Structure 1
Amino acid sequence: MKHFIKTAAAVSALALSAAAAHAQDVTLTISSWAPPTHGMNAIAWPAIIDEIEAATDGRVTAEIKYGLAPPPAQYDLILDGVADIAWIFHGYTPGRFVATKMIELPGYDGNAEAASVAYWRAHEKFFEDANEHRGVELIGLMTHGPGVLHTNADVTRLDDIASMKLRLGGGVANAVGEALGATGINVPAPKVYETLASNAADGVMMPMEGKASFKLFEVAKNTYTVPGGFYRGSFAMIMSPYAMDRMSDEDAAAVEELFGEQLSRIAGAMWDTIDEKGMEALESNADNSLREATPEDAAKWEEMSKPIIDSVLQEVNDIGIDAEAARAFIAEEMANY
């Protein structure tokens, strides 16, 4: 993992008064765009803040702030120094990220924690040199659980999806919708409820957690799944390279030790926890239903997904990464997690 480099001014200031710097209290600003009740804000960030405080004996902490920018603008928020830390969904900025699509592919077997740890390890082994997170420090990677289809109408077979209007988050999810014959509508996750409530879309592709986190049990009462999910969503936790300037060298080193695989594991485990809460919301509402693809439809989807996978592999190969090796590595890491 690349080390943070302090600015010359900050280094000079620390040199003038190392003792004062060691004792100073630092509060980092975390920008978040999901509701306060979402697992990222209710579970993952608090756990990460606890880790930071423990590593620095309380000298460094962080606070979550909402509404600083819409989801697609979080990256630029960090570039501009408005916040110290944020989380981004790669699919919200088409064309900006390519290697990140590798974790989004259908066909991986495993939960979000396994996928997130495998994702970080694949980043270190295959993706880091692509430098797709230029200008910020990448401190963690994560993926949500398998993407499923939540709809107003009851979907009983794969062919029912054709001609539906579906909210799709971007990235591989868009290619999935196109392969299924659906019309894609791109809106950020916080807008999903009103999009479905107004009948602007017939359904949404999201992980199971959306049933609870975004109250889909009220506006998309039917859920349809395929083995391994239709896709996975790719997220990053990013940090301003100047955030460390306010810390002592000792505290900066302690905080940096937490970054990478550890943060990825915490976040992945959170997605698994809220997937369970989503399933509980489905099961506790009698008017909600869950259908799994028949063996015939599962086999059909496996064939339909092959061109999607091949297309992404070619994209990633084109930027100088051995995509086939990266995909095999991710699958093996997940299987052995």
Structure 2
Amino acid sequence: MTHRKLLIGMLCVGLWSAPAIAEAQTLRFAHWLPEQHALPSTGFKEWTESITEASGGAIDFQMFPAQQLGSAEDHFDMVANGIADIAWVNPGYSAGRFPISDLLQLPFVVSDTLNGAAAATKWYQQHADQEMDGVVMCLIHGHYPGTLHAKEEIRHPDQISGMTIRPANSSIANFVSELGGASVQVAAPETREALSRGVADAITFPSGSTILFGIDEITTYHIEFPMYSSWQALLINQNAYQQMSAEQQDVIDDHCTGEWATRITRGWEEMEREGHEQFRDSPDHTMIELSDEEMTAWRDAAEPLREAWAERVRSAGHDPDSLRQDLEERLSEVDALAD
């Protein structure tokens, strides 16, 4: 029997099948930042181009920046429901919905977000499937620590009473409430308008983004003390991931690591750090250096938030002490745990 006849016979009886050729995937990637922001122009660009190259062109991306597919607050539901295949999500925009991840959003937890990105990613990858349905948690990273930017000088947490603050996330909103202030929750792109219309007196924000969004024209007082970082998750729709070939999934998995969390963050980190230094050097802005007593007052004022977080996590069926200890140990190993 010739090889040709043997091959035809095997195909007819189902003894052999040709290797499957992976169908090329174009993934819809949604985020809410302007395209000129350092993160999409550096971190997202490097990440997507590396995936396309590693997949031999079998995975490509269609980018939807600046809330084109929906508001910043809706990005988790967008990716979970398949409106987007990948989305950059701030879990802190959804109050109480992701209690485990809220630990990262609390004030005075992470001191070095660049070194802490890998540690946080490895920590949260263990827990995300307990509170994030419909998605694959790729990585999580935070911005250079943010602080309070205001229209007038603020040194002590007691001064927040009676003020209206635009908080960075739900944990900071709780902090404002704890201090007797009121919160107005608007997405980052709408923050300047809220301040200019007098809806808010101050914001918590990283410094470079304050400049990018034009907020520096309104807020000229900035506390030097790093208070918090908002942590953002890069999430993949579960169905979109499952429909990929094994080879495509391997490429995605290789790009959902702590190392990539650091690489994605680097350009954003530099932008925010430069903004902080620009405020320090500008004659039009005042950097407020807190005394040791004032810094202690801010830290003490945040303690009830930790207790409230522990209660929320406990109510959701998790062990807050174990979660906190694991994260703190990982952050300590890379000198990224706040003192």
- Counterpart amino acid of 2:309? V
Q: Distance in 2 between matches of 1:16 and 1:207?
A: 56
State the structure with more CA Rg.
2
Whether the aligned pair in 2 keeps the contact of 1:163 and 1:181 (CA below 8 Å) is yes
Whether the aligned pair in 1 keeps the contact of 2:128 and 2:137 (CA below 8 Å) is no
Tell me, which stretches of 5 or more residues in structure 1 are unaligned? 1-14
**1:162 — aligned with what?**
161
**1:236 — aligned with what?**
233
**2:182 — aligned with what?**
183
Deviation at 1:186, TM superposition (A): 0.8
**1:4 — aligned with what?**
none
**1:293 — aligned with what?**
290
**2:50 — aligned with what?**
51
**2:9 — aligned with what?**
none
Residue 20 to residue 326, structure 1, CA distance change in 2 (3 Å): closer
Tell me, which stretches of 5 or more residues in structure 2 are unaligned? 1-15, 335-339
Q: Distance in 1 between matches of 2:62 and 2:96?
A: 31
Equivalent positions of 1:241-260 (< 5 A) are 241-244=238-241, 247-260=244-257
Residue 271 to residue 322, structure 1, CA distance change in 2 (3 Å): farther
Fraction of identical pairs, as percent: 22
User: Mean alpha-carbon deviation: is it higher for 211-220 or for 300-309?
Assistant: 211-220
TM-score of the superposed pair, with normalisation by structure 2: 0.85
Q: Distance in 1 between matches of 2:203 and 2:50?
A: 35
Whether 1:218 and 2:217 are equivalent positions in the alignment is: yes
TM-score of the superposed pair, with normalisation by structure 1: 0.85
Q: Distance in 2 between matches of 1:63 and 1:17?
A: 31
Q: CA RMSD in A?
A: 2.3
Equivalent positions of 1:51-200 (< 5 A) are 51-66=50-65, 67-125=68-126, 127-128=127-128, 131-200=130-199
Deviation at 1:296, TM superposition (A): 0.9
Whether the aligned pair in 2 keeps the contact of 1:31 and 1:87 (CA below 8 Å) is yes
**1:326 — aligned with what?**
323
Residue 16 to residue 253, structure 1, CA distance change in 2 (3 Å): farther
User: Mean alpha-carbon deviation: is it higher for 151-160 or for 139-148?
Assistant: 151-160
Whether the aligned pair in 2 keeps the contact of 1:28 and 1:62 (CA below 8 Å) is yes
Residue 17 to residue 143, structure 1, CA distance change in 2 (3 Å): farther
Deviation at 1:154, TM superposition (A): 2.2
Deviation at 1:99, TM superposition (A): 0.6
Whether the aligned pair in 2 keeps the contact of 1:26 and 1:60 (CA below 8 Å) is yes
Deviation at 1:257, TM superposition (A): 2.0
**2:205 — aligned with what?**
206
Encode CA deviations 1:25-67: one digit per residue, 9 max, x unaligned. 4322211111112222122210111220232133322231131
Equivalent position SS for 1:99:
coil
Whether the aligned pair in 1 keeps the contact of 2:46 and 2:264 (CA below 8 Å) is no
Q: Distance in 1 between matches of 2:54 and 2:322?
A: 36
Number of matched residues? 317
